[in-house]
Amino acid sequence: MSDILLSTLQAGVLHLTLNDPATRNSLSEAMMAALQSALDDVSADRAVRVIVLKATGPAFSSGHNLKEITAHRADPDRGAAYFQQLFSACARLMTSIVRHPKPIIAEVQGLASAAGCQLVASCDLAIAADTARFCTPGVNIGLFCSTPMVALSRNVPAKHAMEMLLTGDIIDAHEAARFGLVNRVVTPNELGGAVDAMALKIASKSMVTVKTGKQAFYRQLDMPLDEAYAYTAQVMVDNMLKRDAEEGISAFIGKRQPQWTDEP
């Protein structure tokens, strides 16, 4: 693990901490590569049940590193090849979060701007301190937040998403919760405890069941109604045949705690 991304594992919860406060935890090439590698490495790791994304310093993430981007304007193609590589890497990272078998929670203590806001929106869950702020301000500098728009528009109602995208205005944590961008808002002192409580609650569930549910949730979203019901009905049949479903139902009937096997 690199110095710009810290990693700690405790009680099945992996904390990945963006640690580049000098750039406001920008999603530089190096930061995205470190995040991608960390997520890929634990995809099949049974010791990791839940992932928390957090950050050091006053900002959660300021988005892409504009100084890094500007340096490539001097390239013969004015940076076109680099920009393609950068935004493709970002798209892969955000897609990896959605498709990752582990639930991923954003712990947001400060500003989440542009691709940083996209990072929060891509996570399955998000808890914010009341000091957190969110924006997609690309329109203010002539660069529309088109890739952040993908995650934002899938998590926030259209009118709210368009207001953020077209004005570039900053919204506070309470408005982000009202929009549906974050699950809840707590004080800065409560933030770590609130995230840990949620992470540990999820970590106590059957890992194979949680993986099944997360995967099915995202797959059915864009299906027509009848197709979604047909798909999820088959998911439930397959789920019912897993040992953890048998154990969980038996434990419920027997009024005891289930003993999960986490077997596929």
Q: Provide mean pLDDT across the span 169-184.
A: 99
Residues 156 and 223 in one domain: no
Q: Is the pLDDT of residue 238 over 80?
A: yes
Residues 23 and 141 in one domain: yes
pLDDT in tens, 122-145: 999 999 999 999 999 999 999 999
Q: How much is the pTM?
A: 0.96
Q: Which domain holds residue 246?
A: 207-253
Tell me, what's the pLDDT at 36? 98
Structural domains counted in the chain = 2
Distances (CA, A) of 192 to 19, 67, 186, 248: 16, 32, 10, 30
Residues 150 and 184 in one domain: yes
Inside any domain, residue 15: yes
Inside any domain, residue 261: no
Residues 227 and 151 in one domain: no
Residues 55 and 30 in one domain: yes
Q: What is the Rg, in whole angstroms, of the alpha carbon atoms belonging to the chain? A: 19
Residues 25 and 142 in one domain: yes
Residues 22 and 144 in one domain: yes
Residues 214 and 95 in one domain: no
| 239 Cβ neighbours under 8 A, 6+ residues apart | 209, 212, 245
Residues 226 and 150 in one domain: no
